[in-house]
Amino acid sequence: METFAIFLEDWGAFLMFGAVFLFLMLGYPVALTLSGVALMFAGLGTWTDSFDSDYLEAMPSRLFGIMDNTTLIAVPLFVFMGVMLERSKVAEKLLDTMAELFGSMRGGLGISVTLVGALLAASTGIVGATVVTMGLLSLPTMLRRGYSPSLACGTICASGTLGQIIPPSIVLVLLGDVLSSAYQQAQLDMGIFSPDTVSVGDLFAGALIPGLLLVGLYLIWQLVVAAVKPEAAPAMEIGESHDLGARVVKVLIPPLLLILAVLGSILGGLATPTEAASVGAVGAVLLAISQRQFDLERLRDVMRTTTIVSSMVFLILIGASLFSLVFRGYGGDELVEDYLSDLPGGAFGAMLVVMGVMFLLGFVLDFIEITFVVVPLVAPILLAMGLDPVWLGVMIALNLQTSFLTPPFGFALFYLRGVAPPEVRTLDIYKGVFPFILIQLLAMGIIALWPGLATWLPGVLYPG
């Protein structure tokens, strides 16, 4: 018993992570796996006197903190906004109009899909829904118009994942909340008892320029392919349309006004993310009414989906809170800190390792689990090394987005595979996303070299 207790005390933190991955591979739900493994190791540790059960007494206050956190109210509101826009056929009308606008030029259909993906990212922020919607609406059209299957699939997957980085994004809401706590903890550990703060609004502002940079790089790639391999991205034959300008205005203005109302109110300091999310939810309903796509059955469907997604997010958050308590009880946070501090290269070496681990974890864990489990463990250490919290948040979001695209386990690939026609091979999807993965890495490299791309706008909007 004593030998087992010593073994558990020394290796309990590592064994916890191993047990989580084992149960996840067996198909158990993430939220229940996190809490179940935590309780199992807490029970073993208490029985062998290798774990102080007093750590669990902090759980009620953590639960109350989750319930009392007004920032997290933005999550169900943004989910409602995104699902309502998805159900109101905004994407379908945008794609049709954009395809008519740009389709007559080589690569125009790919440009249309990229631009609509960016607009949907700024409107919904839900990656899975965007990839599935774009796959159902645009993939058959692109294939029918003679597009290369690999280019079509890569464009849709990459455009669909823009919801990870373009605000208002659920990823950025959750990351901003976690990084705010981590930044305060890092400053307190450094003896700074009047800590600076970082907010979700800071992260939204920081992600805006990198998100637009990524969209720009995607568009450049579409033009390069159209120039070098015109047969892979042919032009569409479009008949004369006398009212195209009026339809473009009619289709584009409502979602753009909604984006401006939500994002502009946050960046302008007129509203908190939660208040802006409520504006977005109401605006999505009004937009659905104006499109004549609103009825009680659709509202029930949207509310049901919102409840399911929001419940999943908060259940994972509760499970992650319990897991992190037990992990700390086994000294896991000290082990992580010692490991990262001893790496060669200082902050750069630690950041490189953390990014690599998160990238690999992105194959098997969703961004929610990584945000709630991994980020609280590593972010205080990295921030204490002098890294900027906004820059760190943007890099994490870009990294997870890249992981979502990377074969063979990228989530976006699974989403598209599920709705792609039978004639589209899985290899076509893998080949198609490869150039976009390189573009993602290029964007991360640019922001690593010029951190001001992420930190300049927050400094201008929120000086001091």
Residue 139: in which H helix or E strand, if any? helix 127-144
Q: Is 60 exceeded by the pLDDT of residue 461?
A: yes
CB neighbourhood size of 431 (10 A): 17
Q: Is 80 exceeded by the pLDDT of residue 437?
A: yes
Q: Is 80 exceeded by the pLDDT of residue 134?
A: no
**Measured between alpha carbons, how far is 377 from 364 in angstroms, rounded to an integer?**
18
Q: Which of 52-56, 177-181, 361-365, 403-407 shows the lowest per-residue confidence on average (mean pLDDT)?
A: 361-365
Q: Is 60 exceeded by the pLDDT of residue 231?
A: yes
Q: What percent of the chain has pLDDT over 90?
A: 11
* Average confidence (pLDDT) over 262-270: 82
How distant, in Å, are the alpha carbons of 346, 349, 377, 395 from that of 343?
Answer: 6, 6, 16, 20
Confidence category of residue 112, pLDDT binned at 50, 70, 90: confident
**Measured between alpha carbons, how far is 250 from 246 in angstroms, rounded to an integer?**
6
As given in the structure block, the two tokens for residue 292 are 């004549």
- The identity of residue 24, as a single letter, is L
Domain coordinates of the chain in residue numbers? Answer: 2-51, 67-235+243-461
The predicted pLDDT at position 318 comes to: 86
Confidence category of residue 241, pLDDT binned at 50, 70, 90: low
380 and 189 Cβ atoms separated by less than 8 Å: yes
* pLDDT tens figures, 330-381: 877 777 777 777 778 788 888 888 888 888 877 767 777 788 888 888 888 8
Whether this prediction's pTM lies above 0.95 is answered by no
Q: Is 60 exceeded by the pLDDT of residue 79?
A: yes
**Measured between alpha carbons, how far is 427 from 108 in angstroms, rounded to an integer?**
24
Helix (H, G, I), strand (E, B) or coil at 331: coil
Helix (H, G, I), strand (E, B) or coil at 326: helix
Confidence category of residue 441, pLDDT binned at 50, 70, 90: very high
Burial 1-34 (b: 16+ CB within 10 A, else e): eeeebeebbeebbebbeebbeebbeeeeebbebb
446 and 453 Cβ atoms separated by less than 8 Å: yes
